[in-house]
Amino acid sequence: MTGPSTYLLERAWVDGAVRDDVLVTLEDGAFTSVTPMSRNSRLGDEASRQEREFHRLGGETVPTHVPGLTLPGLANCHSHAFHRALRGRTQRERGTFWTWREQMYAVAGRLDPDRYFALARATYREMVAAGYTSVGEFHYLHHRPDGTPYDDPAAMDAALRLAAEEAGIRMVLLDACYLSSGFGAPPTGVQVRYSDGSAARWAERAGPGPAAIHSVRAVPRDDLHVFRGRAPLHVHLSEQRAENEQCLAAYGVTPTRLLHEEGLLGPGTTVVHATHLTDDDIGLLGSSRSNVCITPTTERDLADGIGPARRLYDAGCRLGIGSDSHAVIDPFEELRGLEMDERLATQERGHWTAAELLDIGTAHDVIGIDRGGEIRVGRLADLVTIDTRSPRTAGTGSDEHTAVYAATAADVTHVVVGGTVVYTAADDDTIGRELDDAIGALWPRR
């Protein structure tokens, strides 16, 4: 239990609009009052009443004044924390897909619970500093390098949970099942760390709770029933065309239709990427009200292609974003990526409004957190403030367009998660040093 704290936000995104001078009270991790104080606000009368009430109750408490534009917490719906160690390195020698994969496996092979804890904590700190207040960690690095379980089979999970706790980010650990390196092919090399050997053994180790199917490549069709009814349930889907072709060859249906036939689509399910879809796939995802996590900066980095985000949204899907491979950790870059990539693909502008993009950026429900994503009474008390007078944001209007089309992660100045301040700009040096140390330990010195 924490005592109440109050903030006077210079500007804030409340009920789908930017409002001036918003007084918020946070108690026990949630908002207990949210009041735009400005006289020209349509809530002006209510504001004066609340202001009087505030002074009556608060008396000596002076609210902390937060300059800038404050947003609800942003949700990172798809992360593999250890991929952060690859940034900048996989671009060497022009950075082909194989350069990336070889180095990803090399890092995956060097992690143990202590090293993973250090890397994940630094990575989560970077996320918090960028404005992400929740993260869905799609976790498949379960076992020792030779594939045998740790003495504590949950050692890697525990490392991630502690890392998130110390970084102050809210984490949903999506325990991923990975049994095969391709349709019918056994895991090889470092992939043996991912595999539990069978879906039954995965279920036994993972227990109930948030889950993930690595992909329809990695879990045989006969095992998919194990995941029916689980929520949140995440799955990588049709990121590259090869998966579609191999799925058609193996089962005669697309990956999306396979999930549909196995009863795995629905509001509790999130498909990640959904880049290469047929019209039928889009219809199935939309009519089942499945969620789709798009990861524009990763899809760009890995040359995956541009998914039909707008068509999925119009078909009825809830969308979220994720930093996935952490080539970039910047929610604002992901959000404008949705619009910008679609512009390049269609040679047309204007696919999304900034308000729609902010709604997508705050989709905590995509990882099963139902009370996040809004500055509203009863919601989780997350606040992300961006500087509206930085070299990037100055003169851009200090509204939702500033957030989506001008700001970067570097403009975030203040972050509150569940009522606790977890980041201020003064933390940047420490975060950089922690990342350097954690990542340096994984690479041989050159």
Collapse the DSSP code of 77 into the 3-class scheme (helix H, G, I; strand E, B; otherwise coil) and give the result: strand
Q: Which is closer to Zn ion, CB of 22 or CB of 104?
A: 104
- Smallest distance from Zn ion to CB 360, Å: 18
Partnered with residue 235 across adjacent β-strands are: 213, 271
Asked about 411 being catalytic, the answer comes back as no
- Smallest distance from Zn ion to CB 328, Å: 14
Catalytic residue among 324, 341, 359, 382: 324
CB nearest Zn ion: which residue?
A: 324
Q: Which is closer to Zn ion, CB of 13 or CB of 138?
A: 138
CA 67, 68, 72, 76 torsion-angle sign: negative
Residues whose CB falls within 8 Å of the CB of residue 139, separated by 6 or more in sequence, listed in order: 80, 156, 157, 160, 173, 174, 175, 176, 212
C-alpha angle 338-177-231 in degrees, rounded to nearest 5 = 65
Q: Which is closer to Zn ion, CB of 324 or CB of 342?
A: 324
Residue pointed to by tokens 């897909």? 97
Collapse the DSSP code of 135 into the 3-class scheme (helix H, G, I; strand E, B; otherwise coil) and give the result: strand
Determine contact, residues 212/231, Cβ cutoff 8 Å. no
Tokens for 309? 């985000």
Instruction: Kindly determine how many residues on this chain lie close enough to bind Zn ion according to the rule CB under 5 A.
Output: 1
Collapse the DSSP code of 270 into the 3-class scheme (helix H, G, I; strand E, B; otherwise coil) and give the result: strand
d(CA 323, CA 326): 5
- Residue 59's region, left for phi above 0, alpha for psi from -120 to 50, else beta, is left
Q: Which is closer to Zn ion, CB of 192 or CB of 272?
A: 272
Which residues in 222-251 contact Zn ion (CB under 5 A)?
none
- Smallest distance from Zn ion to CB 293, Å: 9
Asked about 273 being catalytic, the answer comes back as yes
Q: Does residue number 342 form part of the binding site for Zn ion (CB under 5 A)?
A: no
- Smallest distance from Zn ion to CB 341, Å: 17
Catalytic residue among 143, 214, 273, 276: 273
Q: Which is closer to Zn ion, CB of 23 or CB of 135?
A: 135
Which residues in 289-328 contact Zn ion (CB under 5 A)?
324
- Smallest distance from Zn ion to CB 140, Å: 9
Residues contributing to the site for Zn ion (CB under 5 A): 324
Active site residues: 273, 324
